[in-house]
Structure 1
Amino acid sequence: MSSKGCPDCGEIKPASEFWKLKASRDGLAYYCKVCFGLRNSRSYRKKRAKLGKKTRAYRRHSDVPEGMKYCARCKEVKSVDEFGRNRAARSGLTDYCRPCHSEAITEIRKRNHGSSRNYLLKLRYGVTEEQVEQMLAEQGGVCVICLRAEPKHVDHDHMTGLVRRILCFKCNGGLGQFDDDPDRLRLAADYLELRGSHARRMRIEIGAPVFGGPGRVRWDPYWRTRGNTLKSARHYHLRQKYGINDEDAKWLLKLQVGHCAVCFDFPAEHVDHDHVTGAVRGLACAGCNTGMGQLRDDPIALRRAADYVTGRLVQRVSAEGGGTRLSLTVPDVDPATVPRGGWKAFWEKDGVYRKETLPFDEELDMPAWGGPDPEGAPRGG
């Protein structure tokens, strides 16, 4: 048959507008596809109404133009480009458009996990929001490394996946730049104090551990000569910011044999300078240069970060009223009793302790911290 009449709508339609049905005489369904869908929808909604459940208004899927898709949440027909990907679905697209999909995911996470933050904490780190708040209270609401900034980032061991503590943005980023390597962190601390091998080599070569600086531009008599003006843009940048030129940078790179002046493991790419005096210390790799900056060019913070990575910084000790508490410094103090901004004295003493002790000192019979020894030199505990 090329056409057939539908008893519901009373229209004569092409046979393609009827579903195939082998049981019928003509091989086609009794009603056209549109009327057949309406009948099915009325039957379905009648059953759902008896169960006390609501359903959306009937809508034919074929009514959606090609290249478009209906979002069941906002009840709008939108371009397929506004839907995310879902390989599990026949269409390969999500049921909801992107804004609605985000809202639905947020509602589901809040319903099942309390909040999106709690869901992400459990997914990434295996801890709950309540456990994080408890850790913050134990730390006294301060980053355990720098003891000055507000901790907002959960830090974890990338090898084991175990959560260590809660850090501020800079300390957390600084550890990542140094690849959680305690040796690199300690080398960087010595480098900043001009105590490392690079500073000794500089003293041998030029008689000083640093050179250059903004002041060099003012006293250099050759700055305005013609031979010094026909240079590259890099030359002017180096002269203006660091008080060195292309020749100085090449000489420094040759002195360091192309390696970072801090870790000696990676290529030297960036000029490192003292942010107070402007003097150039050396050429560093991207990780060391950025990591030192994020840890505020502070040797104490770098040594504390090294001990934090190795598990020597944060210790659990017995509390006065029973139970245990955290200890973050030497000399020891309860973090919960120190007000914000009151860590300076403990910070300085702890810096002396960590500068004078090495990781293997823990295995020795070291005396407890008690201030400077009779000769005036600090001793570790």
Structure 2
Amino acid sequence: MVSEAKKCRDCGLIKPAGEFWKRKASKDGLSLYCKECFGLRNSASYRSKQAEAGKQARPYRRHSAVPEGMKYCPQCKETKPLDAFGRNRSTSGGRAAYCKPCHNAAMAAIKARRHGSERGYLLKLRYGLTEAEIKALGARQGGVCVICLREPAAHVDHDHVTGLFRGLLCFGCNGGLGQFEDDIWRLGEAADYLEGRSSFARRMILEFGEATFDGRSRRAEERRLGVRANRKGTSRHYHLRHRYGITEDEARALADVQGGLCAICCDRPAEHVDHCHSTEVVRGVLCTGCNSGMGQLRDDPAVLRRAAAYLERTLITEVPIADGATRLSFTHPDVDPTTVPLNGWAKYREQDAGYRKAVRDMAELVERVPWTEFAWVEGPALETC
């Protein structure tokens, strides 16, 4: 039968039975030493064996000395509240072994040792590529974003459906693709919208006589003539008058011409007034995605069409070079990207823009040719050719 209290042989103190481990060989069912002294004996034995083996163990620490609601971190050797430790369902206490700062530092050290850096770890986790491979791919691109040909290629782009790596882009082009939801059709429509080729531009001409609305010039003319604008309205009215030179009713009329939907995608509510940043003319009312996406792709039709070709996997091609190797090509006319410095793409960018505009003009010309102007060849005549 286990007694209620017992005297420890080492410290000589009488302690409750709960301070002793159970021991079947004892008459009272308790060990000869209290838990604290028992731990000191085991610690001394373990450390003497480690010293004989030429190893040095950390100083002994009694686990039961940690107060309730606290936990000891063996890394920083401090006792902290439980909230200072992250959750870990695999442990008995449900908390990580190290406190949060020590855990983060330990994980960073492991990632640096195994993968070179935090970025190297994420690249391998998300795309299955190492930092060295990404650096080599960037060198093949000439270090430039393959879409805009303006900024350094610093962001890894991937297909959100397959998860496969697609290329290295700048921050703006990578974000612009995301705003357009990798939709090739929307990118093409946005380019037509900027060039006044879209069906919305034709509706604007029918409704207002021109494809854009020059509200700021009209406001300047009103000021010159001393005409006072309506001073009664909402905060949106004053914002529109100050920024675009149009009234809230005019903005609503623009949205009505579009049927209340975005002038580009025709799928989402028209919420944001869009204007040209160089001429200040109002072009239409867009949804958030199309408005932000065009801004990130620099309101440039050529860049938008390059982005569409990039998603179609027709922008980047492999060109054979000596010894059976290949290099990348992503401009018309073709140029080796490794031979062009980052600030030397202006000429090639303009040539590529001219090429893509000519291709679009030709496609528009073909669309406008009446069917009656085509010379149809009958079946029998075709067989004799």
- Taking structure 1 as the reference length, what is the TM-score of the superposition? 0.89
How many Å apart are 1:89 and its aligned residue? 1.3
Residues 83-113 of structure 1 deviation map (CA, whole Å, 9 limit, x = unaligned)? 1111111111111111111110111112222
1:130 maps to a residue whose letter is A
How many Å apart are 1:181 and its aligned residue? 1.0
Gaps of 5+ in 2: 364-385
Aligned to 1:63: 65
2:169 maps to a residue whose letter is L
> What is the Cα-based RMSD across aligned positions, in Å?
1.7
Residues 291-317 of structure 1 deviation map (CA, whole Å, 9 limit, x = unaligned)? 000011111111001000111101001
Q: Distance in 1 between matches of 2:245 and 2:143?
A: 42
8 Å contact 2:152–2:342 — kept in the other structure?
no
Moved more, 50-59 or 4-13: 50-59
Q: Secondary structure at the match of 1:137?
A: helix
Q: Distance in 1 between matches of 2:297 and 2:54?
A: 62
CA 1:184–1:51 in 2, change beyond 3 Å: closer, same or farther? farther
Aligned to 2:160: 158
8 Å contact 1:21–1:29 — kept in the other structure?
yes
8 Å contact 2:273–2:284 — kept in the other structure?
yes
Aligned to 1:17: 19
Aligned to 1:99: 101
How many Å apart are 1:14 and its aligned residue? 1.6
How many Å apart are 1:171 and its aligned residue? 0.7
The answer to whether 1:44 aligns with 2:54 is no
Aligned to 2:132: 130
The answer to whether 1:357 aligns with 2:359 is yes
Q: Distance in 2 between matches of 1:253 and 1:191?
A: 15
1:297 maps to a residue whose letter is D
- Structure 1 or 2: larger helix share? 2
8 Å contact 2:200–2:263 — kept in the other structure?
yes
Q: Distance in 2 between matches of 1:3 and 1:318?
A: 88
Aligned to 2:236: 234
Aligned to 1:377: none
Moved more, 230-239 or 345-354: 345-354
Q: Distance in 2 between matches of 1:273 and 1:194?
A: 13
Moved more, 207-216 or 292-301: 207-216
Aligned to 1:176: 178
The answer to whether 1:5 aligns with 2:45 is no
How many Å apart are 1:357 and its aligned residue? 3.3
2:159 maps to a residue whose letter is D
Aligned to 1:371: none
Q: Distance in 1 between matches of 2:196 and 2:331?
A: 25
Aligned to 1:141: 143
8 Å contact 2:155–2:168 — kept in the other structure?
yes
1:32 maps to a residue whose letter is C
How many Å apart are 1:50 and its aligned residue? 3.4
Identity of aligned residues (%): 59
How many Å apart are 1:320 and its aligned residue? 4.6
Q: Distance in 1 between matches of 2:32 and 2:20?
A: 8
8 Å contact 1:145–1:304 — kept in the other structure?
yes
Q: Distance in 2 between matches of 1:216 and 1:42?
A: 92
1:189 maps to a residue whose letter is A
Q: Distance in 1 between matches of 2:76 and 2:306?
A: 53
Aligned to 2:123: 121
How many Å apart are 1:223 and its aligned residue? 6.5
Q: Distance in 2 between matches of 1:213 and 1:54?
A: 80
Aligned to 1:345: 347
Q: Distance in 1 between matches of 2:264 and 2:29?
A: 84
Q: Secondary structure at the match of 1:214?
A: helix
8 Å contact 1:178–1:287 — kept in the other structure?
yes
After TM superposition, list the pairs within 5 Å mapping 1:155-234 onto structure 2: 155-220=157-222, 224=228, 228-234=230-236
Gaps of 5+ in 1: 362-381
Residues 197-248 of structure 1 deviation map (CA, whole Å, 9 limit, x = unaligned)? 11111011001111143333333379746xx222111110111111111111
Aligned to 1:299: 301
The answer to whether 1:269 aligns with 2:278 is no
Residues 151-206 of structure 1 deviation map (CA, whole Å, 9 limit, x = unaligned)? 11111111111111111111111111111111111111111112111111101100
Q: How many residues align?
A: 357
8 Å contact 1:317–1:327 — kept in the other structure?
yes
Q: Distance in 1 between matches of 2:53 and 2:218?
A: 86
After TM superposition, list the pairs within 5 Å mapping 1:252-291 onto structure 2: 252-291=254-293
Moved more, 145-154 or 215-224: 215-224
Aligned to 1:379: none
Aligned to 2:376: none
Q: Secondary structure at the match of 1:341?
A: helix
Q: Distance in 2 between matches of 1:69 and 1:335?
A: 57
Q: Secondary structure at the match of 1:29?
A: strand
Q: Distance in 2 between matches of 1:262 and 1:339?
A: 35
How many Å apart are 1:26 and its aligned residue? 0.5
